[in-house]
Structure 1
Amino acid sequence: MAKRDYYEVLGAARGASAEELKKAYRTKAKELHPDRNSDNPKAEDQFKEVNEAYEVLKDADKKAAYDRYGHAAFDGGMGQARGGRPGQGGNGDFASAFSDVFEDLFGDFMGGQRGGGGRSRAQRGSDLRYNLRVSLEEAFAGIQKTINVPASVACEPCRGSGAEGGAEPITCPTCSGMGKVRAQQGFFTVERTCPTCNGMGQTIKNPCKKCAGAGRVEQERALSVNIPAGVETGTRIRLAGEGEAGLRGGPAGDLYIFIEVREHAIFQREGVHLFCRVPVTMATAALGGEVEVPTIDGGKSRVKVPGGSQTGKQMRLRSKGMPALRGGGVGDMLIELAVETPVNLTSRQKEMLREFEKMSEDNNPEGRSFFSKVKTFWDVMKG
């Protein structure tokens, strides 16, 4: 079967410039790539045909021979060109040719932005992290905080372009905007980042004096942050576009604020619930009474202590805990009693306690039960 005209394969006119041929190749390669045509069994052969055509027409010597002699200029289709240099087989330089269209085919999936010459001239700024400590009271009520963030911001004199006066960068003359250069080493073609533009694909003729061509400068910014009620340690707040400025006009990154809630002197937190350990006297625990306890909103609550309460007894105050971060109600506050043993007793107090102890042998059921079990244990051990 006779080969189709290479210009026809690419959909380009005879006499098309190198850039026009390249554009036509990219269009056809994207259209016919097998990964995008899984339902077309002919797509792979057609894609190879497009690659073969471009391999000839992108080379000035091969193109000149083809324009004069057509397919007859090559022995075996892609062999020795008359008066030219040896060519390569249809798949011989596939990787080299395909790399020209790789970014067009997959750039969107890689999250890149393409600029002139198929290479991104602008780069997105880095995301930043800021650790913010708040009190438990602030986490309960929510608060507006102002933070100072050291970061890179867009350079004002060049408007982020990196060029003096905000002028547009020019295509790199070394790599023709590709951001990479190729060198032949024996049988291999080695591809490296362009040393002139450092892979950007563009250069700046007159760099901005303030930012030295970077398009951004270091500066501390004051930002107002809304801390919602109910935040916990580890809560992350994202401020879109408040991160580091992009390079040469690229979009800014994001700022992530990580919350740390400081420990409280009175309350301990577990999710939306609060715990408060309240000491009570022996007399109050034995006889019963009332204690006044604080609440996280700054208020007070009176709690009844039942007679005969022991250390560790808990009582619940409904809806006196922390609010849920995204709605869903408010937690509770749990009061835990701690029966306090008196210290620094006077002689009279000690005497009264000894007298009370003699009179209260039948008033300590837990102690009586424990020592009864201990006695049984010892008897068993003695055999």
Structure 2
Amino acid sequence: MKLGFTAAEEEFRAECADWLADQMAGEFKDIKGISTLTAQAERRKEWEQQLAAHRWSCIGWPTRWGGRDASLAEQVIFAEEYARAGAPGRVNHIGIELAGPTILTFGSEEQKTRFLPDIAAGKTIFCQGFSEPNAGSDLASVRTKARLDGDEWVVNGQKIWTSLAHISDWIFVLSRSEEGSRGPKGLTFLMVEIDQPGIEIRPIRQINGDAEFNETFFTDARCPADSLIGAPGDGWKIAMGLLSFERGVSTLGQQMGFRNELDAIVAAAKANGAAADPLIRQRLAKAEIGLRLMRYGALRMLSNSDHGKVDGAALTYKIQWASWRRALGELAMDVLGQAGEVTENPGYEWDMLPNLFLYSRADTIYGGTNQIQRNLIAERGLGMPREPRGSA
């Protein structure tokens, strides 16, 4: 397992850090430290294009498609420095980290030419159409249907928890294209343009006042036949490949964001005297230990990464960080005390630490609930018998 970086890689770190610091202190200082994904969306699209103009948008992609052919270590370094600099969350995270790698892996040359340059340039924003009201963690139960009508696919159904659909240009949709099929069979993976009469997007208001995700309704929505990734019926295989990218290098950047949150809690505890409480100090130390263990685990996971194999660290990582961060949010509120329950900001907008508490309540639900993750660890990681499934 690789726990350190070479001198050349540390030089690359300095290059990343210097460029990001200049941007966050200069032209884009107005969006530094934004903690919600919907704030100043148009300005952050400009930021996406600035990243692309300097080839920082998708550094792990081939240079042909706007990347830098960066090594895994360099990708990790950039993700860490991006978070350390306080740069805003990527509004095209789905396009850069999920849609793009999926097209690179499973798409045709024509599809790569069609989609990748605009994703890399920050001109095409993607969102993900997987979960449905009755198919959240159980993705194989999707009911959204797609049928081929001449040279177009026609899509009908509903998706939910569609992050940033309201500011996106395209959505990739896992749909059922084989009549009567059940489970993972008969699923198809389509790229659908959002700006059309057959798609309606309704925001879902969150507990922290944000509306990051949405319900997305498809009523005879259409996309060209060549928007199909892979072949009809390959949807499950492609979806599983896509989800493997979700546990990629961005995990280290995510942890740097966690570091910023933990540091803010420590600073608040010192400022208001909560650090004098021995139980608070103990919880702060436990959070620090947990964060360091997650870093080592993520480095091990990335060192052993192989999208064709099940990696035990990858299976445990999601439940590990989600449970840790939920506890971190509770610690933040205990440190702040009653002051954390009041905001002077307009429009029900919370500062960093109260927002951490509110948002982290969902960490153990989205992306696979803790219960689902335990099943995956047992069945796929430990080889235990599958949980009995009732007949539908």
Higher helix share: 2
Sort the TM-score into its range (normalised by shorter chain).
Answer: under 0.3
Between structure 1 and structure 2, the one with the greater Rg is 1
RCO comparison, higher one (Cα < 8 Å, 6+): 2
Higher strand share: 1
Task: Report the TM-score when normalising by structure 2.
Answer: 0.20
Task: Report the TM-score when normalising by structure 1.
Answer: 0.21
